[in-house]
Amino acid sequence: MPQQNEIPTIRGHWLTGVIKEFNADSLRFLEKATTYGDIVKLKFGPFNVHFINHPDLVHDVLVSNASRFHKSFVVKRSFKDVSGENLFTSDSEFWKRQRKLMQPAFHAKSIGAYADTMVDYALAEIENWSDNAEVDVDAAMTTVTMNIITKTMFDTEVGDETRAVGESFTRLLQIVNNRVGRIFDFPHWLPTSENREIHRLVDKLKAMIQGFIDERRASRDDKGDLLAMLLMAQDGDGSGMSDEQIINEMLTIFGAGHETTAYTLTFAWYALAQNPTVLEKLQQEVDTVLGNRRATLADLPNLPYSEMVIKETLRLYPPAWGFTRNAIAAVKIGDYALPKGAAVMMSPWTMGRDARWYPQPLDFNPERFSPENEATIPRYAFIPFGGGPRVCIGNQFAMMEARLILATIAQHYRFTLKPDFETEPIRAFTLRPSNGMKLIAHTREAIPVL
Ligand code: HEM
């Protein structure tokens, strides 16, 4: 066995490398890249990106050598003038302190209190639907998760003012998403129309969050929301976060914490519309456990199939379809030596569609995630929330939210596809449907919305 293995390379165009092909259809391009082996070097113009596609290599990057890898410069650059240094983009000591300060706000016992809010907003959205109506499922799921994150972050209802804020956030995310997709970008201090728009949106949002902080500091109210927890968070030496840092983290949580779950639910309904047996099993579980009463936190242990459906959706349609790192020192992963500065990319999309870990990978089959079957899947072949110390801090929040919304909707509605409707997953910052997700809603029976 050689000490160090050769890494195959996809060179593409002599000047631009694979940029054009990657941008044209990133998901298909990455699938093609996996045919070169478990690690392949992709030439993005002058930059090499090492694309890895094996659970052991993923483990080596995210866990064994976690401290030798930092978030990539593209991610840092894209967020810097939006949310500064924050939990998502920072590294080393700064990141460690933020993670320690923020972790308690995301513990199961802290977020359990949000379950009723999650069900409230799912039920409120359902009231807009009727039998045989066409529903924009992606827009509907985004409304529900945006209402939930706004309420759980700031204990505020989504009224006209917060709706405008939500729109500003959404627009901001769109622009940052465009930035993350670019290897080369204009400096952010240049007054391009995009940069000016970003700064206008950021100023507005920061002023709004500062208003919430001022109110809270003045009233000393503990409303039990995320803002209260971040305001109370203290280090071992009794120091907390500055207002500026809290604002940056709130912007980050809003950005990371609602679209991802909205698109998970969107694709779950898409898959269920195409798999009636799975839907039936989900409805049986929901009917047996809940009947026509509303779901609560205490029901979740009795709704295992809803968890299996969400996990299977995350496998086949992972919202975070890829993420990247840069090696801060020379490092060995598996039998491969990477130089200092090497960029590494991994993809929950390709890992989740690999027949080595998931036989008949294109079938939507939640049974893969029954306790017995899940135990046979290599841990780092299922990475929708990343892994290691940088694993998604909101993963329990997201799973609870997705399951409660799924179960609540499944009590009252099912969806079918329109015969002529076509949509497919494409990559933006998060994975989303190319053509939206217009499905036909059907009331199950006359179950009153309680
Ligand atoms: C289905 C929903 C979600 C998915 C698929 C998802 C996915 C991810 C992934 C893959 C990462 C790691 C990225 C990397 O290693 O480079 C991450 C990190 C993060 N996520 Fe999530 N996420 C979801 C929901 C949420 C929610 C609900 C929140 C907050 C309320 C959240 C907040 C964060 C934060 C702050 C980080 C950075 C953590 C750190 O680096 O310490 N996410 N997420």
Boundaries of every domain in the chain: 9-443
Burial per residue of 150-178, b for 16 or more beta-carbon CB atoms within 10 angstroms, e otherwise: bbbbbbeebeeebeebbebbbebbebbbe
Query: Which of 12, 20, 62, 80 is closest to 323 using CA atoms?
Result: 62
Token pair 């110390």 in the structure block, residue:
389
**318 CA: nearest ligand 1 atom:** 5
CATH node for 9-443: 1.10.630.10
Q: What element of type H or E holds 48? A: strand 47-52
Ligand 1 atom having least distance to the Cα of 263: 1
Spacing, Cα 80 to ligand 1 middle (Å): 18
DSSP annotation of 301 reads G
What is d(CA 274, CA 291) in angstroms, rounded to the nearest whole number?
24
The answer to whether 57 and 351 are in contact (CB under 8 A) is no
Mutate to test the pocket of ligand 1, among 312, 392, 399, 405 (most ligand atoms within 8 A of CB): 392
Q: Considering only CA atoms, which of 345, 81, 293, 292 is closest in space to residue 203?
A: 81
Closest approach atom of ligand 1 to CA 249: 35
> Residue 151: beta bridge partners?
none
pLDDT tens across the length of the chain (450 residues): 444 678 999 999 999 999 999 989 999 999 999 999 999 999 999 899 999 999 999 999 999 999 999 999 888 888 888 899 999 999 999 999 999 999 999 998 899 999 999 999 999 999 999 999 999 999 999 999 999 998 999 887 666 666 777 788 888 888 887 777 676 677 777 878 888 998 999 998 899 889 989 999 898 878 889 999 999 998 888 889 999 999 999 999 988 889 999 999 999 999 999 999 999 999 999 999 999 899 999 999 999 999 999 999 999 999 999 999 999 999 999 999 999 999 999 999 999 999 999 999 999 999 999 999 999 999 999 999 999 999 999 999 999 999 999 999 999 999 999 988 999 999 887 899 999 999 999 998 644 444
What is the whole-number distance in angstroms between the Cα of residue 301 and the centre of ligand 1? 23
Cα within 13 Å of Cα(55), Cβ side: 15
106 Cα: distance to centroid of ligand 1 (angstroms)? 12
* Gap between the Cα atoms of 255 and 79, Å rounded: 11
- Cα of 417 vs centre of ligand 1, distance in Å, is 30
For residues 418 and 270, the answer to whether their CB atoms sit within 8 Å is no
For residue 402, the ligand 1 atom closest to its alpha carbon is 1
Distance (Å) from CA 130 to ligand 1 centroid: 34
Q: Which atom of ligand 1 is nearest to the CA of 325?
A: 16
Residues present in the chain in total: 450
- Ligand 1 centroid vs 410 CA: distance in angstroms? 26
Give the binding-site residues of ligand 1, using a 6 Å CB cut-off: 87-88, 99, 252-253, 256-257, 260-261, 264, 319-320, 323, 384-386, 390, 392-394, 397-398
For residue 152, give the ligand 1 atom closest to its CA. Answer: 30
pLDDT of 374: 98
Q: Contact 265/421 with Cβ under 8 angstroms? A: no
First vs last C-alpha separation in the chain: 65
Q: What pLDDT does 162 receive?
A: 65
User: 426 forms bridges with which residues in the sheet?
Assistant: 432
CA nearest neighbour of 389 among 118, 82, 56, 99? 99
The Cα 413–Cα 325 span in angstroms is 42
pLDDT for position 163:
72
| Residue with CA closest to ligand 1 atom 19 | 392
What residues contact residue 65 under an 8 Å CB cut-off, 6+ apart?
331, 333
Residues β-bridged to residue 17: 13, 44
Q: Are 73 and 326 in contact (CB under 8 A)?
A: yes
